[in-house]
A and B are shown apart, each in its own frame.
Chain A
């Protein structure tokens, strides 16, 4: 596998999806998008080739945050919004672990917003899977920070007054080095994004559009409806021209600071460069779905490597040991001004 997992011990035997299943009964509502994500993650993990015991899933609070109980790895179901902080400590102390954070739109963008942005700017080696269903599910149906303006919910009978976050724009603005989006119902795409996230050395933010069939059913219907999805979904692939549409007859043409939709044979078709150190185009791509569902890019918006926090921290530790020698407590106590009384 990649450099990102270079310090994680390899599994001596090939693992299977079933090795990652626990004996715990899965308790999401029947029909919840979380089932598809769980199955996709369980069948993806063996691909990493790392030891199961060196894999850790950490979550906050919310429906999605039950996820670690169903993964037969080390797991930590923590408190609301704080999973990125806990994962930061773990990943900084232990470079031999593959650390995954499972969170939702309320958990990561509302109560835990601060930890999310700081984990991204530090580029700590954690993979954050943000299940975005645009609603509070576990508390039974209040609007979330990604709910659309005017949404009628239990706590907003006359419509929500909150302008929503676009998680991709937010993550890019927070200096995120790896930012991607995928959909619960497209296992192949989801796994391809997970693969790229795992290969990124540092913090990866993967927004997963996830359907809550109880409190916000069909939130992503336009992306799932066979009649319109291909004309709306814009699949991003690094190094490829951005062409889409059922008949692949549409293309993104750069237009000032943004884009317009043209045809693939026009001049100026944008070739997606996820590695561009300048995040401006990635940010512009994240604004394509305004108003909602005109065009929705999925895939990796940005994958621009830079040193991860944990590697820099551990380099300083190694350098200090190198320069000062391993810590000697007795010598420390006797350092500086001392005097002897006989």
Chain B
């Protein structure tokens, strides 16, 4: 039979299954095929903290949402058009997000009495009519996979495990995805287990063939490649981009990177990634605890390396004293906080932006630390380079505030040319200076010399005790302490003149309301702004990348609008800073659900504020 092909401009698919079903891998592969095809993409993995929650239960559901389009998109999408549910739990946990009329592909093999009961279904929703509002494709994915693999020398269990590849094959057919890269991926992943490799490829191809022959799918869909700027692209997650940005910072500064880290969700991937780059002179040290991790990094910085530590909020809490020490001794140091929901252990795998005030103020004494926040997965790369530039130039610890959403989400990234990245000058102090003064500052930057051990004639002592201006000797002089406190603050404040001004997107220049965000909400806010503008609304948008100090034009921008909306995934932390510093009563929009904002939700907020104008 001849099948119809329908053109779509965008599709949002959510793969959902048990955390052992390989949904993240399935999503990753579909994303890779889609990126290669040339669509614009944005992804959102959502998984439990438990490695293997009890099989078939609601807490064990893992999902991966992918938005792809023939035009430039900004978010993983508010709601899926297609839900792939590998078991009853996945259906129950996700069906509420699927708009009526959406496609549901369910794996009926898992809809046993036992599995249905586990999640509180009295009868199978596939059969009792409760899915009547959707286009349901009830398919025995597991048994079809097992049947496709009956000629392989595999246990039934191993054969069943390939069902995610069968599903991937089916979806790849449905959306005309290129398959070569997935086959190459499987060949590499299972190179040491040839039978498993062949079985997975066979399951993948069987899924594709099933799509082509079944009458269940009369139509397949095409989403044309997006028009993107010419160049070489790759798909990248935030954590990967951050790791590469750090490698780039080492490369552009000529400094060896030294990472001290303790495993913590959702930051561990950066440790894993950087541990691969010893040929770049990157040394990774998995410490005994969060405190030792940053301590070792600071020790390495003292020795002239680019010291850094990667963690999440609970780890930052433990590192606070050492960050204070780094402020006192004025050495370069990078602290990466991939934020997750708090307080305490909170929701380790869920996103939040609630560590901004911790980064600003979470130390004893007057202890200013610059803060840079990336706004998209790929931007994590540039944020890392920028943070390193500030740290080295100003001899200061710098926070990079990423979040769980950016860390695991991915998007296409047009690769930069290395020579377009800034050169970072370490400028170590020259040996054998007469009357060397370790705390004599550069008059312009207020940075002190970085005099590393091994430099003849510059032997000196640093520490957490207050130092005399210039000589760095211990000083209890009251006026000196006041002076040094103000100098440290002035040094950080002065960075405002050395960073890009806040850019405002206000196409006609006549908007009266500004929406101002920071960090990982950029995509959702921008998508909301587009929707409002499409309907004729006048709205200006700006996104803060430097949260300490704020860009020099911040106040001017804020004061040129009647109202400023500040959406944050916290209870109003940036809003608090803006009110305190500029006496502007910004309008907050705050939700802490462990999830990114939806574009429609923010569009509603913007409309409400504009209507109240």
Interface set of A (CB-CB < 8 Å, partner B):
9, 22, 24, 51-56, 58, 68-69, 71-79, 82, 85-94, 96-97, 114-115, 118, 313, 316-317, 319-321, 323-327, 329-330, 332-334, 336-342
Contact = CB atoms under 8 A, between A and B. Distances in A.
A52 B458 CA distance: 10
Contacts of A329: 247-248, 251, 280, 418
A89 B232 contact: no
B233 A325 contact: no
Contacts of B296: 85-86, 88-89, 92
B235 A86 contact: no
Contacts of B292: 82, 85, 88, 114-115, 118
A222 B452 CA distance: 45
Interface string B281-307: 111010111011101111111111101
B469 to A, nearest CB: 17
Contacts of A118: 287-288, 292
Contacts, number: 205
A323 to B, nearest CB: 8
B460 to A, nearest CB: 7
B346 interface: no
A92 B248 contact: no
B462 A342 contact: no
A93 B244 contact: no
B418 A330 contact: yes
B563 to A, nearest CB: 39
A67 to B, nearest CB: 10
Given A313-B283, A329-B418, A74 B300 contact: no
B285 to A, nearest CB: 6
A118 B293 CA distance: 12
A93 B299 contact: yes
A55 B456 CA distance: 11
Contacts of A93: 256, 258, 283, 299-300, 303-305
A337 B454 contact: no
A52, A85, A317, A336 interface centre (most CB from chain B within 10 Å): A85
Nearest to B185: A337
Nearest to B419: A330
B464 interface: yes
A69 B438 CA distance: 14
B462 A75 contact: yes
A334 B232 CA distance: 8
A51 B456 contact: yes
Contact of A86 (B228, B231, B288, B302): B302
A58 B299 CA distance: 9
Given A54-B453, A86-B296, A75 B460 contact: yes
Contact of A337 (B32, B289, B457): B32
B35 A53 contact: no
Contact of A333 (B35, B293, B415, B456): B415
Interface string B430-467: 00000000000000000000000111111111111100
Given A53-B454, A82-B291, A327-B251, A338 B233 contact: yes
Contacts of A76: 299, 302, 329, 461-463
B612 interface: no
B305 to A, nearest CB: 4
B609 interface: no
A142 B503 CA distance: 57
Given A53-B456, A75-B463, A89-B307, 4 more contacts: A74-B453, A77-B462, A86-B299, A333-B415
Contacts of A85: 260, 287, 291-293, 295-296, 299
Nearest to B251: A329
Contact of A341 (B229, B248, B307, B465): B229
Given A76-B302, A89-B260, A97 B36 contact: no
A36 B300 CA distance: 31
B232 A114 contact: no
B278 interface: yes
Contacts of A77: 461-465
Contacts of A326: 279-280
A92 B300 contact: yes
Contacts of B590: none
Contacts of B304: 93-94
A88 to B, nearest CB: 5
Contacts of B256: 93
A139 B260 CA distance: 31
B272 interface: no
Interface string B43-74: 00000000000000000000000000000000
Interface in B303-325: 303-305, 307, 321-322, 324-325
B329 to A, nearest CB: 8
Q: Which 8 A-B pairs rank lowest in CB-CB distance, beginning with the nearest?
A: A77-B463, A327-B280, A89-B299, A85-B295, A89-B296, A320-B278, A75-B461, A86-B299
Interface string B170-183: 00000000000100
Contacts of B35: 337, 339
11 contacts: A24-B473, A75-B459, A76-B302, A76-B463, A79-B322, A94-B454, A325-B279, A327-B279, A327-B280, A329-B251, A330-B417
B27 interface: no
A170 to B, nearest CB: 15
B296, B300, B325 interface centre (most CB from chain A within 10 Å): B296
A35 B348 CA distance: 50
A191 to B, nearest CB: 22
B36, B304, B461 interface centre (most CB from chain A within 10 Å): B461
A340 B234 CA distance: 9
A266 B325 CA distance: 58
A236 B590 CA distance: 68
Contacts of A9: 454
B416 interface: yes
B474 interface: yes
Contacts of B473: 24
A76 B438 CA distance: 13
A38 to B, nearest CB: 14
B536 interface: no
Contacts of A55: 453
B355 to A, nearest CB: 22
A33 to B, nearest CB: 22
Contact of A334 (B293, B307, B415): B415
Given A82-B291, A97-B453, A340 B231 contact: yes
A316 B260 CA distance: 16
B342 interface: no
Nearest to A82: B295
Nearest to B455: A53
A58, A320, A330, A333 interface centre (most CB from chain B within 10 Å): A333
Contact of A97 (B232, B415, B454, B463): B454
Nearest to A310: B283
B453 A53 contact: yes
Interface in B579-606: none
A322 to B, nearest CB: 8
A92 B296 CA distance: 9
Contact of A54 (B300, B307, B454): B454
A122 to B, nearest CB: 9
B96 interface: no
A340 B251 CA distance: 25
B453 A94 contact: yes
A79, A89, A114, A341 interface centre (most CB from chain B within 10 Å): A89
Nearest to B456: A53
Nearest to A94: B303
Given A78-B325, A79-B322, A89-B298, A69 B474 contact: yes
